[in-house]
Structure 1
Amino acid sequence: MYGRNMGTLNVFVRDETGANIVSWSKSGNQGNRWHETGINISSPVPSSRKIIFEGHRKCDITGDVAIDDITLTSGSCVDGSWATWRTWSSCTVVNKDARRSRCRRCTNPFGQDGSASCSGESLQSEHCPVPTFTFHNYC
C-alpha cells in the first residue's frame, strides 16, 4: 500500500449466509516496503466460507497495493517476534552523508490468527563509523 492516493485494503470473510464480514482493514500510504499481518478467522472454517480481498484507491493512479504469500494455518494465537538483525550494508554516500542500514523480519514467528504482529521498526539506518587515526609527529 504505497502512494499518496492509496485508499483502503479490506479483507472480508463471506459466511455461510453470504454476508461479507470485515476481518481486517488498513488505509493510507503504508510506505514502499512489505508488511506482514495475521487475521483471525473463526475455527473451524466451513468450506462454504470465502476470503475476499478488496482494494480501493482515491481519484488518481498514484496508489499501489500488492498482496503476496498468503498462507492459511490453523492453531492457537501466537504473537509476532522479530528475527535477528541482518548484517549492516556497505556504506553509501549520498549528498556527502555516508550511511549504512540493516533490516529484520517479523518471522520468529509472525503474528498468527489475528494475534499481535511485531512492534517496532524493521529497518535501521545510521551514519557510517568514522575510522580513527593516530598521528605521530616524527622529527
Structure 2
Amino acid sequence: MTKDRSSVFLFIDDETIPLAELETPIVFDFDTSKLPDGEHVLKIVSKSPTGREGIRKIRFIVKNGPSVSVEGLKDDDIVDGVLPLMINAYDKGNQKSFVIEGSETPQTVPVWMWIIMILIAGWGAYYLITYFSGLPY
C-alpha cells in the first residue's frame, strides 16, 4: 500500500484475520450472504500514513434466511385456549427474477374492512329498493 493514503482493515465480529485490507477512499460491496443470521459487528481499523490508528465498530443484524410471518400471535400476548395461527416463510430467492408464488404472506381481512363492506352493501340495497319501488326518499 502506498504511504500517502490511509488504509482500512475490516474485521467481522471477533476475527483476528481481516476480511479486507483496502486503501481509502473506497467503495466496498459488503457481501453478508456468507454470514449466519443474527447479530454481528463490523470493526473498521484505519491506519494513517503517519502510523496513527482509529477504530469504528458498527453493529448490524443479518437476516439472509427466509422471513417468517406469524398472524394470530404477537410478542407478549396473553393467550388462553386454542389459537388459530397462520405461519408463512418466504425468501428473497433469485433477485434477478421475481417469483409471485410464496413471496407474499396472505392475511385475514380486518374487522373494520368487513364493517365498511357491510355498510356499502346496505346502502346499495336501500338505494335499489327505494329506486325500484318508486317511494320518495
Larger radius of gyration: 2
Task: Looking at secondary structure, tell me which structure has more helix per residue.
Answer: 2
- Please give the TM-score of this superposition, normalised by the length of structure 1: 0.28
Larger RCO (CA under 8 A, 6+ residues apart): 1
With the length of structure 2 as denominator, give the TM-score of the two structures: 0.29
